Structure 1
Amino acid sequence: MRGWPSNISGITPLLADTDTSWNASALQSRIGSIQAALESRVFPRAPVVILADNSPDWIAIDLATQAMNIPLIPLPTFFTPAQWKHAIETSGAQAIFCSEAQYAHALGFRAKISCDSRLHLYEGPQQSHPDTRGTQKITFTSGTTGEPKGVCLSSDEQWQVAHAIHAGIAHLGLKRHLCLLPMSVLLENVAGVYTAMLCGATTFCPPLSETGMIGASSFDPVLCLDAIQRYQAESVILLPQMLQALTAIAEKRDVRIKSLKFVAVGGARTPSSLLHAAREKGFPVYEGYGLTECCSVVALNLPGQDRIGSVGKPLANRQVRIAADGELEVLITGDVHYLGQPEPAQRWLPTGDIGHMDADGYLYIDGRKKNVLVTGYGRNVSPEWPESLLLGTGVVAQAIVLGDAQPYLAALIVPASKHHDRACIQQAVDQCNQALPDYARIGRWIKVEPFSLANGLATANGRLKRAAILQRYQEQINSLYENVGA
């Protein structure tokens, strides 16, 4: 198994939060205690769930299950109870790590097992489960439907990604990584924690509420900037909406971000204008691209290998190609597969993203294949194109562009501030239209409420659920095309 570098015992601390500080020896001791607790279960080889906020214990549990070859199922705290139960039932999980007994009991785990950890271990009756041999982690993605889909990943696959990222940033000499995303999100788990370990860096993993993530879908950029300064973070991972909020309030060369050396942004498309604006403020930000099925990161811009507008070059462990219809495909290695399904015979994974590569090997994502609009005049338009321009104005926080089979495109717009009135938004739309050909310009728009995880209109990583949004706002959308041709 390709795992964490256990010879880095000189690092003090290796993991830390507000009241915990472990060097490598202390981490190894905690891993051993967790292993002993897992071995004492009635069914010691059965899959185990973790439902918890960020903490050093979260990481210790992850590494303990790797050492024992036991499948770990991270449950995002932002899932609904129905989604938690679906993940537990389909994976056949027999035990759970969590901080509150009430959650364990509600999910069917009642027998408490003694464990030297701030996260308590409870077990339930044995359940039948799919063949999980070779699987260390089963990651459930919220996607665009209510029923999460499990992706089975090996330990080796995850560490390969971390090693590839480490190879690209090792020269930065990073020593302090601050976790701003949930550990249950594979991007932070692999590209954050594992990569920091390979860098020999201290990973700071305080509760998310201390770093600005409030509840399921609220973000406080002031708290986040204060946390970056308090922990003197040298690397962080952000979602585009987080970067937008931080850029909006940060001063140029803000003292609170002086320690940062590398900021990765991913999870959804990031407007080029936002990246330029963030760098103007002093954020050393680099966009990447990934998929859960590929253990998170596929491509990443890096210091010295950076092209704004692209998502960077594919990592050293990744092969990509562009199909005849423009769809990006990624070569899947190892035994990555969906839970309950056999390994796919076709190893080239269709991503659903339309993309291209330039002559220097930089990858560009142009939009989602299924989202392409065909206007009433027969023009094909990826809505992400005008949407990206809107987001780049700084006036628009979220946007959905539509207009399939219609004579012009329209938009649902969430302003970046309550102070942006209709005239201000119209000015932003006009600015975008000047950069677009006539067939891709926005003819009409309406202002709507934010799309969030809480209202079911966005995923945890900020991707908008287009089908749900179009259904929710169907009446308003119809009004945008009233009297067409009259």
Structure 2
Amino acid sequence: MNSQYQSTLTAIAQFAAESPNKIALQGRATETLTYADLAVSIELTRYRLNRANANVLGIAMDNSPAWAIVDLAAMQLNLPVVPLPYFFSAEQTAHAIDDAGINVVLSDQPILFKQMLDLYGKKILQEKQYLIGDKVLTELILDSEKVSELPAGTAKITYTSGTTGKPKGVCLDAAALNRVSHSLLEVTKARPTDRHLSILPLSTLLENIAGLYVPLLAGATAVLMPSSQVGLTGATGLNVATMMEALNASKATTTVLTPELLAALVTAIESGYSKPPYLRFVAVGGASVSPQLLNRAAALGLPVYEGYGLSECASVVALNPPYSNKIGSVGKTLPHVAIKFSGDGEILVKGASLLGYTGDTNNEQCAEYFPTGDIGHFDDDGYLYITARKKNQFITSFGRNVAPEWVERELTMSPFIAQAAVFGEARPWNVAIIVPAKNAIPAEVDMSIAEINQSLPDYARVSQWILAEAPFSPQNNQLTSNGRIRRINILQQYQQKIDEKYKEQSYAVL
């Protein structure tokens, strides 16, 4: 680990000595751990994990101080950790266990987890329970058939958001995680008085870093409550009233939201909920954020800052700073990051790249500059803009390249359009699948598209649109858990209707 960065564990030990009674972690109701308590809990859990002879540890738990203690104890042991999100399907979880070579799992839902293991024929050699924090955890030692050869120094294996049945495992070392943590500490101006409320699961890399490591480096308090107590149910269910109550009751000063959660927060306040009074920094990312939504948030006085990152670069790459926010951009690169662009505009990132992927012995993508697959550019002030996913660009039958994200972003800036997916590969003009905003009528959608088309070049315009049968969501497999459109799935559902549009002769070719 680079000596210029103090590790999270060193910071905990320092605060335990200097401010032993300061609250480090807060969970359900009155559950709190001081920095002194946390240091002791990490040491005790380290001892237990060492006795389990874990090669790779899986954490299958809801947000809680116990999750943090286990993660930090494994960090002290140099034991690779694989967070196993509950929004993963049983197939994806079983794949991660095999793919990463997990031989020990700690779970707070052992019955559910054992049913899944049994379904996929995985044998449990030993089972024991013990208390960590105020939570009883079950340790399952598995009969692991595979011992994965992970890249040397692997500290965390984070799996992609599950766009396929077999997501890829990204192997990261402690140095990369620490570099990102320290950059966020600096840019967000994290301070000991902060109270960070984790709404997203700690099993997501962004929340693991921003919601746990950064507050602990700052000597602040991480509020880690079960998902149900912050309003989340399953992968996508949201009780807005519960989320608003959690933000207020926790006196949260910072939090991280996806665009969907931000939209819920903004709409709730516009509808009469009180603005959470203590918030000073709300990071939003995971998918493209509509400038209209960010402007609505700004009008309410919400301190919302868009960022950009990816798992292969240990999460955050760029973030709008609180002292100079530029809506429409994803901010400035973090202090540890260097960026350059390929000939076709692809963003190449240096600074905290992955060690490799699980199961990939070549690891050819682990070059000095990681190819993100995103197309973008800097403005004159050094702010980064993302214009498209390289793989999503399509070419019309007239040979024009179209970035659908660009057109979709323009469409969803309309108050009458909630979601949009644009298609036009090898076609003379483009079609959009549209989810209208609540109470919007077709005539208002028509009007919006006509206005937006005036600002677009002819090859990017939407000539026809199709009313979506339902909003894009993770439940219907048309949206990832962090808000990205699953284009292939949407195209498959609406392929027949799209083809019918192109068969109609009454619409001119642009």
TM-score, normalised on structure 2?
A: 0.90
1:35 aligned onto 2:46: yes
Q: C-alpha displacement at 1:251, in angstroms?
A: 3.2
Partner residue, 2:282: 263
Per mean C-alpha deviation after superposition, the further-off stretch among 327-336 and 144-153 is 327-336
Q: Give the Cα separation in 1 of the matches to 2:437 and 2:44.
A: 48
Q: C-alpha displacement at 1:143, in angstroms?
A: 4.5
Q: Give the Cα separation in 1 of the matches to 2:437 and 2:242.
A: 19
Q: CA RMSD in A?
A: 2.0
SS of the residue aligned with 2:188?
A: helix
Q: Is the 8 A contact 1:353 1:366 kept in 2?
A: yes
- Decide whether aligned partners of structure 1 residues 166 and 211 sit closer, same or farther in structure 2, where only a CA change above 3 A counts: same
1:415 aligned onto 2:436: yes
- Decide whether aligned partners of structure 1 residues 385 and 210 sit closer, same or farther in structure 2, where only a CA change above 3 A counts: same
Q: Give the Cα separation in 1 of the matches to 2:193 and 2:432.
A: 42
Per mean C-alpha deviation after superposition, the further-off stretch among 399-408 and 122-131 is 122-131
Q: Is the 8 A contact 1:433 1:441 kept in 2?
A: yes
2:324 to 301, 305, 308: 305
- Decide whether aligned partners of structure 1 residues 45 and 412 sit closer, same or farther in structure 2, where only a CA change above 3 A counts: same
Q: Give the Cα separation in 2 of the matches to 1:456 and 1:295.
A: 26
Q: Is the 8 A contact 2:54 2:103 kept in 1?
A: no
Q: C-alpha displacement at 1:33, in angstroms?
A: 2.4
Q: Is the 8 A contact 1:409 1:440 kept in 2?
A: yes
Q: Is the 8 A contact 1:134 1:335 kept in 2?
A: no
Q: C-alpha displacement at 1:319, in angstroms?
A: 0.9
The AA in structure 1 aligned to 2:502 is: Y
Partner residue, 1:79: 88
Q: Is the 8 A contact 1:262 1:286 kept in 2?
A: yes
Count of residue pairs brought into register by the alignment: 483
Partner residue, 1:121: 139
Q: Give the Cα separation in 1 of the matches to 2:321 and 2:193.
A: 14
Residue-by-residue CA offset, 1:383-442 (whole Å, 9 max, x unaligned) = 11121122222332321011122222111112332x223233333323422332333221
Q: C-alpha displacement at 1:257, in angstroms?
A: 1.9
1:348 aligned onto 2:369: yes
Partner residue, 1:53: 62
Partner residue, 2:334: 315
Q: Is the 8 A contact 1:174 1:235 kept in 2?
A: no
Match runs of 1:129-208 below 5 Å = 129-132=147-150, 133-170=152-189, 175-208=194-227
Mark the runs of 5 or more structure 2 residues left unpaired by the alignment. 2-6
Q: Is the 8 A contact 2:314 2:354 kept in 1?
A: no
Identity %: 39
Q: C-alpha displacement at 1:176, in angstroms?
A: 0.7
Q: C-alpha displacement at 1:361, in angstroms?
A: 1.5
Q: Is the 8 A contact 2:283 2:306 kept in 1?
A: yes
Per mean C-alpha deviation after superposition, the further-off stretch among 9-18 and 362-371 is 9-18
SS of the residue aligned with 1:14?
A: strand
Q: C-alpha displacement at 1:374, in angstroms?
A: 2.2
Partner residue, 1:446: 466
Q: C-alpha displacement at 1:172, in angstroms?
A: 6.5
- Decide whether aligned partners of structure 1 residues 479 and 48 sit closer, same or farther in structure 2, where only a CA change above 3 A counts: same
Q: C-alpha displacement at 1:201, in angstroms?
A: 1.6
Q: Is the 8 A contact 2:172 2:354 kept in 1?
A: yes
1:8 to 9, 12, 15: 15
Per mean C-alpha deviation after superposition, the further-off stretch among 245-254 and 297-306 is 245-254
SS of the residue aligned with 2:466?
A: strand
SS of the residue aligned with 2:372?
A: strand
The AA in structure 2 aligned to 1:446 is: I
- Decide whether aligned partners of structure 1 residues 334 and 397 sit closer, same or farther in structure 2, where only a CA change above 3 A counts: closer
1:480 aligned onto 2:485: no
Q: Is the 8 A contact 2:229 2:242 kept in 1?
A: yes
Q: C-alpha displacement at 1:332, in angstroms?
A: 5.2
Partner residue, 1:458: 479
TM-score, normalised on structure 1?
A: 0.94
Mark the runs of 5 or more structure 1 residues left unpaired by the alignment. none
